[in-house]
Amino acid sequence: MNGEKEVTIYDLAKILNISIATVSRALKDDPVVSKKTRKKIFELAEQMGYRANNFARNLRNQRTDTIGVIVPRLNSYFVATVIAGIESVVNQAGYNLIISQSSESVEKEMQNVRSMFNNRVDGLLVSLAYDTTDISHFDIFYNKNIPLIFFDRISEHKNSTNILIDNRKAAYQVTSHLLSRGCKRVVHVTADSGSNVYKDRLAGYKDALVEAGLLFREEYVIYSDLSLEAGEETAKKILRMKPRPDAVFVANDNCAVGCMLGMKQAGIRIPEDVAFAGFNNDPVSKVIEPNLTTINYPAYEMGEAAARHLISHLNGTESIQSMKTILLRSELIVRASSER
């Protein structure tokens, strides 16, 4: 079925009996055209359903004014907050966003990368999937010199910038805090992933044990998908351990809360019997009783920083090659779940 004919600036000019150039300038809000004339043109354009032909303009400029974002999952408070930070900067700078999720799958991530490339995004912001170990699928961007910034879950590459926190240091702080409260048998719950995030948090956990003169025990590291449901299953594993651990450090808040609920249902007192700490400072950390000790991860600031650096490069004020790794500050937030 044929649609209605698209309204053009020629149609607007003919109806108003003014030049095409005047209509074009007015639609760009050029002050050369009087306010009265601009108002008249805008009103007619809206009335007739005129749409700017950005596609043709973008072909001429070889830009789409669009930035792509690929994230592991959208149903995450952390990711949603990062995207809000990205959006605040991108919108102010006059760019549009295309957002897709890899659903924690490298195969889906590859499809997303190809789709972003085919949509001719001017630049790409990426947080990698759990199982991404090889980033060669991003070569189509590098080969075209299209700027690429990784955030949170990153991969080292000479032509991209990484924005993250010092996960190793943050995990060391959490574990050291638990040890300072008299805990000796600290379990670490993490993801079985090649991601820098979880490897670095495990390393920080080990660092704190070594400093305290405690042996690292492999059986005290529990791998899961870090969901709320996985936390409840993890609680069952911990309850079967002999002797029972006296502290649990989980690599995210959702799983920590699930684990706490499972322990409480079994009659375990928190923090008297088992102390708890999570990571990310999600809202759920302040809903659970007792409130959860965690690491404040500046997600909104991360999104702002990623978008700002990418746009600076696109506008020619900053070189992507000169940026490399940008570390944002995190903070240990001590709450009742670990105060023994």
Range of 36's domain? 9-52
What percent of the chain is predicted at pLDDT more than 90?
72
How many folded domains does the chain comprise?
3
Cα distances from 96 to residues 30, 99, 121, 123, 229, in angstroms, run 22, 10, 9, 11, 36
Q: In what order do the strands lie in the sheet with 161-165?
A: 96-101, 66-71, 123-126, 148-151, 161-165, 325-328
Here the CATH number for the domain that contains residue 89 is 3.40.50.2300
The mean per-residue pLDDT over the stretch 164-176 comes to 98
Are residues 286 and 315 located together in one domain of the fold?
Answer: no
Here the CATH number for the domain that contains residue 24 is 1.10.260.40
Which residue do the tokens 């070889």 mark?
A: 62
Are residues 152 and 175 located together in one domain of the fold?
Answer: no
Are residues 196 and 139 located together in one domain of the fold?
Answer: no
Whether 60 is in a domain gets the answer no
Whether 1 is in a domain gets the answer no
Are residues 303 and 289 located together in one domain of the fold?
Answer: no
Whether 176 is in a domain gets the answer yes
Are residues 26 and 140 located together in one domain of the fold?
Answer: no
Whether 2 is in a domain gets the answer no
The rounded distance, in Å, linking the Cα atoms of 76 and 130 is 14
Residue 2 confidence class, pLDDT cut points 50, 70, 90: very low
The per-residue pLDDT for 57 is: 56
Residue 52 confidence class, pLDDT cut points 50, 70, 90: low
The mean per-residue pLDDT over the stretch 174-191 comes to 97
What percent of the chain is predicted at pLDDT more than 70?
94
pLDDT of 96-118, one tens digit each? 999 999 999 999 999 999 999 98
The rounded distance, in Å, linking the Cα atoms of 25 and 334 is 57
Q: Please, what is the average pLDDT of the chain?
A: 91
Are residues 27 and 174 located together in one domain of the fold?
Answer: no
Are residues 70 and 159 located together in one domain of the fold?
Answer: yes
The mean per-residue pLDDT over the stretch 291-313 comes to 96
Are residues 154 and 193 located together in one domain of the fold?
Answer: no
The rounded distance, in Å, linking the Cα atoms of 276 and 247 is 6
Residue 132 confidence class, pLDDT cut points 50, 70, 90: very high
Which residue do the tokens 């870090």 mark?
A: 226
Per DSSP, what are the bridge partners of residue 190? 223
Residue 322 confidence class, pLDDT cut points 50, 70, 90: low
